[in-house]
A = this chain, B = another copy of it.
Amino acid sequence: MATATPATPDQDLTALLRAANLRVTSQRLIIHRVMRDLDRHVTAEEVAKRAARRLPGLSLPTVYSTLELLEGLGLLRRVPLATGAVLWDPRLTEHHHAACRECGRLIDLDVPVDTAPGLRAARARGFEPDGAEMVVLGRCAECSRSAKTA
């Protein structure tokens, strides 16, 4: 029987881990909680710094593997930047990004985009798509401002 009570993030994660026969550790709970609290894209390093505040001794390798684990559980999304850097995004609702070519800044775009043609084209090529993201490239407000000044 399904529970009708809305689950907390911790309960969600616990349930997913159990279902996958994985162990519920404080590291996993804390890292997940940090991401949920931040509610914006961050680097692995920033996650490590914040999570270590709540769990001293937490190691970087654990942060990396946990982020990947949470991605696999569908609780996070990995966002590759044009600079080659990688960010982690706890927002699960489909949204898109604008990335600054100059400083790498990434902002959320909460605008609907018709991804259907892309998904269709991918399927036609044998792909099994599970999502599509648009990245708008250009110069952010700050960088265009300093470009004008310079």
The chain A residues found within 8 Å of chain B, CB to CB, are 78, 80-86, 96, 98, 100-101, 107, 109-115, 117-122, 125-141, 144
Contact = CB atoms under 8 A, between A and B. Distances in A.
B127 A140 contact: yes
Contact of A128 (B78, B111, B130, B139): B139
Contacts of A126: 140-141, 144
Contact of A82 (B80, B85, B107, B134): B80
Given A80-B80, A80-B82, A86-B84, A109 B125 contact: yes
Given A78-B82, A83-B80, A118 B136 contact: yes
Contact of A136 (B81, B111, B129): B129
**Interface residues of A: mostly helix, strand, loop or mixed?**
mixed
Nearest to A96: B118
Contacts of A118: 96, 98, 109, 111, 113, 134, 136
A112 B120 CA distance: 11
Contacts of A133: 134-135, 137
Contact of A130 (B115, B125, B137): B137
B125 A129 contact: no
Contacts of A135: 132-135
Contacts of A120: 111
A115 B134 CA distance: 8
